[in-house]
Each structure stands twice: as structure tokens, then as C-alpha cells.
Structure 1
């Protein structure tokens, strides 16, 4: 009996986990099914470039996983039943629904944009956390005439990258950034100084301590009564985890994120692993890992290696996940690399200018390349799956029977 591994979501974390598992385990011992609604990999960390009018290199999963044994299921996840160990999916083309039974589940559905309940945001604002959203914003910006106002709401990494990318690509627009606090207030003094210099050079108006509490068709309004003209509003204030986790029965934190141990295994359901934005994992200083590619990639490595080790009956490797830097692109010609402590606090050391822009570009290319090459620099010897114990086999047979009856 092959051990059935189902991976939900093919962003950075899900795709890396699936590919790494395929390199760790023998194809005759396992089936690895990767569920995703789109047939190609989306470089989420570059979506601000898409919004600004740039085209990205296509990365079809059929090419990335050719010969690995990973089976791509083009479908949207609609429900997860952790008691029956089954996932309900709807075909990406809308023509059919089915259930996928699993023995091990990797939950990597990630996150999307979050309007924070601010009135008018859902109706009037644009987002850059998904490819459809970035493409809609791209079309809207292309239709704007010179001098029209664009406001990017949110002073975090996504907001900074979106504002600078748009301003550089369209210097004829009146681009502004509304930040809840001071500009770059989490950066070192050197980092803040460089950031302000770049924003000034691109002609971006910065509104600090400007918490937006309403979005209209042609303006945003701040909590202190300021009205900022905005023919286009780009909302980047935070992310919301995919809501399916709420109905799974898994133990959650903050209402949405799956609580996992140091191997990314659910603390309530040992057959489930969660990686990326969907997981609540602790890092250095007993602080939760932040939602980011920098956190998600090593989480995927850890989960895949732990699953392979447990299936093979070998020692489970445990790697401490830590931070080294925050990489910010500030258009195509400028960048900022803020070096940080293990628990993500800024230090004095920074890298700026064109060198930083090239550094960030290498990071982005490396992240995408790593999806197709998930075990580079590590032993790739595949392990054999240990035979299941009688009790485990009985549970698997029962799950298969339930799925067959449901179909």
C-alpha cells in the first residue's frame, strides 16, 4: 500500500515541500498529490512588478516537476476533514467535485489580502497579494492619465515595494504612501535614511501616522481627518490566512493559523503538517515566525524532511529557523538590505543602492529556482517507507473505504 501524501497549495512552501518529499522518498512507496488551482508557479514576491506593467517568466509546474512523481491536481480546496482524513476539492474549470484521501497532509494554503474591515476597502481598493489582483491593478494603472493620484496604504515591505515600483514605472503619476506609523520605523537609522532618500527621489509623498479608516472611489480618509485624493488605492496593510483552516478542527492560534511544533507538525493532529503563512510556528526568542517567504521556505524544508524521516523510521532532523536580513526592492534600480538579528530585529548594518537591488534580484531568482531544485546542496538519497503497523494499516483501509463510498 502506497502512503498517500497530499499537499494543499503550490506557492513557495507547498511546491518546495512536494518537490523535496519526491526527492526524499521512493515513488513506489508514496503518492504525492499537489493541489493548486493554477498550472504554473506564481512568484508572489514579484507581484508588485506585475502591477507596474512588467512581465514575468512563465514557470509551468508540468516542467518543474517532470519526472519527479509529483502529481498536480488542478483544483480548488473547498474543505478539509481531519477526522476522516479527506480533502474536498472542486475542479479548477468548475466541472466537478471530488474527495482526496490522505495519510499525511501538508497544509500550505497561505494567505491573501486583508481589508481590516475598513469601510470601502473591498469595493474600491486594489491588492497585490494575488496574480489576479496584480493584473487588475496593472490594467487600472495603465488607464490612468498623467498627474492622477495613486495612494498606497501600508508602510510595510509590500507597501514600500508597491509604491516605489509604481512611481518608477509611471513617474507621471502622483504617487503617495500612507503609513500607520513613521516611515520605516522598524529599520535601523541607516535604513530609514536611505528609504526616505529613495522615496523623495521618486517623488513619492509620504503621509506618516496616517491610519486610513475609510476608502472611497476617489479618496481615502485618515483617522485624524485628513482626506487624500486617490483615483487608485492600493491596500497593503496585512494578510489574512486562508479561512478553510477555521473549519478543520485543527488547533489554531489567532483564530486562523495552525499551531505546529518544531517539525511543522500539527500539535492536535499528527497526520497534518502546516507550513508558510498558514502555520503558527515559534522562532528565536520564542517569537512567532512572521508571514514571509523568508519564514516559509525553511518551514517547508523542515516539514518535508520530518515527514520523510518519520515514514522511513529514522531520526527526525530539527533545524532552528532564524532570520538574517530583510530584502526590500525599491524599484528596479534601488534596494535596501536590512540585516537583522536571529529574531528579526534590525542592526546597524545595511546594504543600499544598485548593489542592494542586485542582491534582492538574486534572492528572488534563488527562491523561484529553489522551488524546482528543493534539495540542492543536501544528500538526495531516497529513503524506503517503513511498513505500516497493523493498526495504521487498518485505519488507512477504513479511510479508503469511506472515500470510495462517498465517491
Structure 2
């Protein structure tokens, strides 16, 4: 019996689970267990919509896995014992594994700045996003500080500004918004922020978050009735506590096949994995996470057939950013993530982003019912993409 345990049911965990379930249909020697805190699938890349009161589909993981050899165990993973090959859930249940897929992802790092944990909202879960939506709805007028000028911060700030035009929205962080974009895309992004009335304060590092303001390291106090924290992420300490080799950010260091370099029976994918490519360590995105999950599923199937898993190769293709519901900008990129000259803006960009970042739920349903993986292809040079 092949006992496969997958920790986390986000985009990467569910992609791995559904590909494995589809490819092992009819086999009675494979058992897949998915462990997740809730039975609800969270469309994390759309939580900025939830945070502004928009309703997303209520997607339930057991419904997706029904009729397959994969089952869901709800609860919090509290420990991993690599010697016994067991996972402890809620400090009361133990689940044994032959192969473990670590897909627990990352959360906003509110521990880095005093007061962020107590006074800021995050976009890590549907519950947190819904709490922010209620607060914004009752606020009516006032100020919102979105801390972090990365993609999550940009999408949150523009969504809030569009849905709540009476609020004064400030986007504040160390880097300029769109710093990794080409000149044309960056200029369009700056124009969209100005059109929506989003004020930008770059070159400012947050030193403290208070109930009614944020303080920068240069001593400025920025008033805010609501603070949204999107600056930086942290990964679960479980991997380090279990003795897996991790990098300086706590991510599991993998070999070329995405196996832990210290524990080859463990695969690490998504945000909690330090996956090195020719251009450096990959940064966590849905764009790279799902292909890493599909690769891992194929690697396990090769193991079942007595073969060595193949090498994972990935190249980025774009940087899609929504700017509210009616605008967007797409920066196309080279495989290493650096910007190309080509960018898409306006309505065409909205259509593109809604198409390529649409909910993967339908894809997951197809993958549980067929061994084909047609939506995942090999690009030129052997790089895996969606």
C-alpha cells in the first residue's frame, strides 16, 4: 500500500491531490490523505475581493474528492515525526505516511513588526478577509493603510479604493509599487493608482502598527482607521522542528526533483519550499506552485513504477495584476521573472487575468476524473508551466 499524505489543501496541495487521484483511479494499492485546517477551499488570489464584500463560490474539498481514493482529514498539523513517518493532527491523531507532500504554504508575517499581529488585518484566509470586509463596510469614511507594496498590497489597495470611494487609501512600503515591471506597465500602474485615488508612500519601512496609525522607521506617523498587512510572508515552523533541512526563511530545501535534501521521502512544493532553478530560488506564486504540484504527482508515479523522479524546471511567463474589477495590467516576463517589453493593459488585461487566474476548481474536477493532464504542458527548454 502506498500511503501518500498531503499537508495543505491550497492551490498546490489540491493540484497534487487531484492529479494523484486521477492517475491512480482503479488502483487499490494507493491511499491519499489530505490534511487541511478546514473543509473549505480558499481562492487565496481572490481574497482581496472577499475583503471588499464580494461573494466567492463556496467550494468544499470533500465534494471535490468524493468518489476517489483521496480523503480529507480536517485539523491543524502540530508535529511531524520523520523517523516514524507520522504526522500529528490536533495533538490527538497520528497519520502514517510512506511519502509526504509538504504544501502548507505561507502566511503574512505579522511577527516582524510590533503591533501588526494585534492591530492589522491580513488576507491569509476567507475568515480574515470577511472580517476586513465587515470593518470596511461599517467604517463608511476614514483612512485605510495597506502596508506592503507588492502584488497583494496593490490588488488590495485598488480593490478597496474602487469599492469604497469614500475611504482614503494609502499604499505604503519600502519599494515602489510595480518595481519589477517594465517601464510601460509601471507607468500604467502608477496612472491607475492615481485614478483610483490611492496615495502611495514608498521608501517607508513600517516600525510599529498602532490601533489608529502606523509609524515608520524615520519617525513619521501615518493615520489609519484600518491597517491591512501584506508586507512579507512566513512559513510554518513545522519543517524546521521536524529536522528537515531548511533555508534562512524556514523553507524546505529541495533537490532537483523537489524532494527534501535531508529526507527524500518528503516532497516540498509551493511557498514553503526553497526550489532552486538556474536563475535562483523561485518565489512563491500560484503560477509556479501548481506546476510544482503536478510535477510531484508525476514524480511519485514514477517511483511507483520503480523509476527515478525527473528534474523540475520552471520558467515564469507573466506578472498579472488586477486594479479593481474594471482594470488590470499584465507584465510579460522572461523565464527568470525579469520583464519583457510587452505588456497588456485595460480591458484586454482584465480578460486575460480573469482567464488565466480563474478558479482552478473546474481543472481539479477534470483531473480527478481523467489521467490526462492537458492543461499543464512543457514549454521550450523543458520548463513546466500552466
TM range (shorter): over 0.9
What residue in structure 2 maps to residue 402 of structure 1?
none
Aligned residue for 2:357, secondary structure, equals: helix
Q: Is the 8 A contact 1:110 1:241 kept in 2?
A: yes
Alpha-carbon distance between aligned partners in 2 of 1:233 and 1:366, rounded to the nearest angstrom: 28
Q: How does 1:39-188 map to 2 (within 5 A)?
A: 39-90=39-90, 97-146=92-141, 148-188=142-182
- In the alignment, structure 2 segments of 5+ residues that lack a partner are 374-386
Alpha-carbon distance between aligned partners in 2 of 1:47 and 1:305, rounded to the nearest angstrom: 30
What residue in structure 2 maps to residue 321 of structure 1?
314
Q: Is the 8 A contact 1:246 1:255 kept in 2?
A: no
- In the alignment, structure 1 segments of 5+ residues that lack a partner are 91-95, 381-407
1:310 lines up with 2:303 in the alignment: yes
Cα drift, residue 145 of structure 1: 2.4
Alpha-carbon distance between aligned partners in 2 of 1:369 and 1:336, rounded to the nearest angstrom: 25
TM-score normalised by the chain length of structure 2: 0.92
Alpha-carbon distance between aligned partners in 2 of 1:65 and 1:332, rounded to the nearest angstrom: 32
Match of 1:289 among 265, 282, 288: 282
Aligned residue for 2:101, secondary structure, equals: strand
Alpha-carbon distance between aligned partners in 2 of 1:120 and 1:160, rounded to the nearest angstrom: 22
Match of 2:358 among 362, 365, 369: 365
Q: Is the 8 A contact 1:325 1:340 kept in 2?
A: yes
1:5 lines up with 2:43 in the alignment: no
What residue in structure 1 maps to residue 269 of structure 2?
275
Match of 1:197 among 191, 211, 214: 191
Segment drifting more, 325-334 vs 204-213? 204-213
Q: Is the 8 A contact 1:338 1:346 kept in 2?
A: yes
Alpha-carbon distance between aligned partners in 1 of 2:359 and 2:72, rounded to the nearest angstrom: 23
Task: Count matched residues.
Answer: 372
1:239-263 CA distance string (max 9 Å, x none):
1101211211111111410011122
What residue in structure 2 maps to residue 355 of structure 1?
348
Q: Cα gap change, 1:373/1:243 in structure 2, threshold over 3 Å: closer, same or farther?
A: farther
What residue in structure 2 maps to residue 220 of structure 1?
214
Q: Is the 8 A contact 1:339 1:347 kept in 2?
A: yes
Cα drift, residue 366 of structure 1: 5.0
Match of 1:266 among 239, 260, 265: 260
Alpha-carbon distance between aligned partners in 2 of 1:280 and 1:117, rounded to the nearest angstrom: 20
Q: Is the 8 A contact 2:287 2:316 kept in 1?
A: yes
Q: Cα gap change, 1:48/1:350 in structure 2, threshold over 3 Å: closer, same or farther?
A: same
Q: Is the 8 A contact 1:284 1:342 kept in 2?
A: no
Alpha-carbon distance between aligned partners in 2 of 1:150 and 1:322, rounded to the nearest angstrom: 36
Aligned residue for 2:252, secondary structure, equals: strand
What residue in structure 2 maps to residue 231 of structure 1?
225
1:20 lines up with 2:57 in the alignment: no
Q: Cα gap change, 1:190/1:378 in structure 2, threshold over 3 Å: closer, same or farther?
A: farther
Alpha-carbon distance between aligned partners in 2 of 1:270 and 1:300, rounded to the nearest angstrom: 16
Alpha-carbon distance between aligned partners in 2 of 1:131 and 1:42, rounded to the nearest angstrom: 6
Alpha-carbon distance between aligned partners in 2 of 1:243 and 1:132, rounded to the nearest angstrom: 22
- CA-atom RMSD in angstroms: 1.7
